[in-house]
Chains A and B, each alone.
Chain A
Amino acid sequence: MQAAIWLIILPLLTAFFIGISKVFYSYKLLFPLVTGSAILYLYLLISVIDHSYPPKVYSVGDWGLLGINIMVDPFSGLLLLMIALLFLPVIVFSLKYITFHTHNYFILTYIMTAGIAGMVLTADLFNLYVFLEVSSLSSCALVALKKTNKAIEGTFKYLVMSTLGSFFILLATILTYDLTGTLNMAEISVAFQDIPFQIKSILMAFFIFGYAIKIGLIPLHAWLPDSYEESPIPYNVLSSGLVMKSAVYALIRVLYILFGFDFLDETGMLQIGVVWGVVTFLIAHLLAFQQSNVIRLLAYSSIAQIAYITIGLFVGTERGLIGGNFHILNHAIMKGTLFFVIAIFHYSLTAVDIKDLKGLGFRFPLLSFTFVVASLAIVGLPPFNGFISKWLIVEAALDAGFIYAAFSILVGTFLSLTYYLKVIVTLYTKTDKTIEMKEPGLALKLPTIFLGSLCIVFGIAPSLPLSLIDKIPTFLLDHEEYISILLGG
């Protein structure tokens, strides 16, 4: 499992080397360094995902349970798969798209990816916090990259909220260490059996509050659209695809492994999670409907989709976990495609408002078609990938007796159809205006079309990712197995 540690080191090394190459070679070394490392990273990711079942443990510094352990299991394999699908397209796209603070953009992107990979791989509570800080701090910095007033405002909101979330997570981590005397997730989980119910539920509340801010569940969402609005758009792909998802991952990891499924059931957290999800996506859909800026619209749509994921993961059945996890993957792909298309429009004619998109459907036929595919997929229409994961979530909610959740998801689907149709109709409205524009090159189009085609491929052949996702619930619903592997390794 030597490759697992490289997933964290390689982006860090690349970031530091970009810092040095900036001083001595300016732009000469940037392209080979960035693309070479991204391709190597893709290879490493694939080899680690390939070995994610059965789970493996890697002990940093050979300390075993005394030190920090890294663990690869199917759940982290899924998140790594998302990095693999998104990272190289984003890098290729950004090389063409980003024309300001290029070096800083790539340094911060690589550090952010290292942080996300660390969060996904680690099996140590404090290490999780450290990498969470790495990823959220660099994410904040990327929001501020344009240095416009709006960008600074968004960054400030993001920074304050993100720090508040980190504060609660750190407090919970410290209290956990104080209570159990260890930071290894498996050992904490074992030691937690002797801790009184009341203290455990307070700790859980701290964790949930902290991560809910990072995820952006309503009413803790206000920073999210503001921070998206003026940030470089390729970063938004990574942000909605990976940064938010890594927080979801960490929350689920902490809840299911540390506290265990039985405790969640006992405290009623599962019901709260489902209700919270329903409220979040209903409000988020209504808010998205009012937006005139496409990026803000997509940001609210991201909040709504995360709420679907929350419902899937909190239903508490095997099917719900599969559906939720599949939706994590699908949302990353669909939202990535949408943001890429908007980024190209922004690159060509600086269009970010819905009214600016008028008539672009005839100018960019292929790209607009990709946009339509991705938006129909995100609404949840067959035969695209979003339909399948949403269907799995609805089925799981019905099975577990959450009739209102299943019904609300259908309502939410219609709500989201209305605002996505608004954009699509504008795209295909004829206009006589002739518009000055830059022709987007292949470097911009290829990543977009790659992700867009994945929407169709995963819709027609969902068994490709599901073969990995099917193994996830084994290690989440019953945390004994995870614990025994981590303790035994």
Chain B
Amino acid sequence: MVKKLYKLGLVVSLGMFLFVLFSDIHNLDRTSKNYLSEHYISEGVQETGAINLVTSVLYDYRAFDTLGEATVLLTAATILAFLVPVTKADMLGTTFTIIVYQATKYLIPFIAVLGVYVIMFGHLSPGGGFVGGVVMALIPILLSLTYGIDFSEYKLTPNTKKVVEDIGAIGFILLGLLAVLTGNNFLANGQAGFPLGNAGELISAGLIPYLNVMIGIKVGAGLAIIFNSLMKEQ
């Protein structure tokens, strides 16, 4: 009882402390302190050619961070792939009605189209590589859930997924190195002379669409690996 009260007291005092801190920070006078975000908002479209502001920050201004985050995801997928035992669990009564099997079959092309759309139009509309990759990963995940993990891994072996993931990551770095070839800095886009095109067209914003594709491939394959690894049990 005392221990519980003690824990409760700790949590409440931490909450009060953070509340005071956040309200202090909120009440600070902060005019003219956000020139960076102002710049991203007002100049982002001209400088990067991407209408989607999030994409312009994620794949151009701070593309280097994206590379790091993609690496974290790849590391997580690698860890799960070797930590989880290789033996496969029997799916809990894989006896769905035929409706489920048929619906899954017809759903997959639509998911694929949606995924490709979200990735390709990442610089024009909400979406991008990360979101599109998750959508694409739904295809092997759906296969695993309905037809069982054996069928899913027969269609897309873990090795294939691993290779696709690595190709996505390598592609991202190679695209970044294109700028180095032209004598500019790593991951330079507009500055390296890649045509930004007319903002709003599909082929515009220089390297951003291609970076999106690479991240999409990588995230999709990575999530599929993670899901299948977690489904396996001893």
Contacts and interface: CB of A to CB of B under 8 A. Distances in A.
A68 interface: yes
Contact of A60 (B34, B71, B185): B185
A39 to B, nearest CB: 20
A199 B62 CA distance: 27
A118 B68 contact: yes
A20 B163 contact: yes
B198 interface: no
B211 to A, nearest CB: 11
Interface string A184-200: 00000001000110110
A62 B188 contact: yes
Given A108-B78, A147-B83, A182 B189 contact: no
Interface stretch (B21-29, B116-124, B136-144): B21-29
What DSSP secondary structure best describes chain B's contact surface? helix
B173 interface: yes
Interface in A1-50: 2, 5, 9, 12-13, 16-17, 19-20, 22-24
Contact of B75 (A58, A138, A147, A196): A138
Interface residues on A, range: 35 or more
Interface in B164-189: 165-167, 169-170, 173, 176-177, 179-180, 184-189
A150 to B, nearest CB: 15
Contact of B33 (A63, A68, A191): A191
Interface residues on B, range: 35 or more
B78 A130 contact: no
B71 A19 contact: no
Interface stretch (A173-181, A344-352, A383-391): A173-181
A408 to B, nearest CB: 32
A60 B72 contact: no
Given A60-B64, A61-B63, A199-B24, A111 B75 contact: yes
Contacts of B65: 68, 126-127, 130
A12 B169 contact: yes
B68 A127 contact: yes
B4 interface: no
Interface in B153-170: 159, 162-163, 165-167, 169-170
B28 A61 contact: no
Contacts of B169: 12, 16
Most chain B beta-carbon neighbours within 10 Å: one of A58, A61, A179: A61
Given A12-B173, A181-B37, 5 more contacts: A16-B166, A58-B185, A134-B72, A178-B25, A202-B21
Interface of B: 21, 24-25, 28, 30, 33-37, 39-40, 60-65, 67-69, 71-72, 74-76, 78-79, 82-83, 159, 162-163, 165-167, 169-170, 173, 176-177, 179-180, 184-189, 191-192
11 contacts: A2-B185, A20-B167, A23-B159, A61-B179, A61-B189, A68-B62, A115-B71, A130-B68, A134-B75, A141-B83, A175-B21
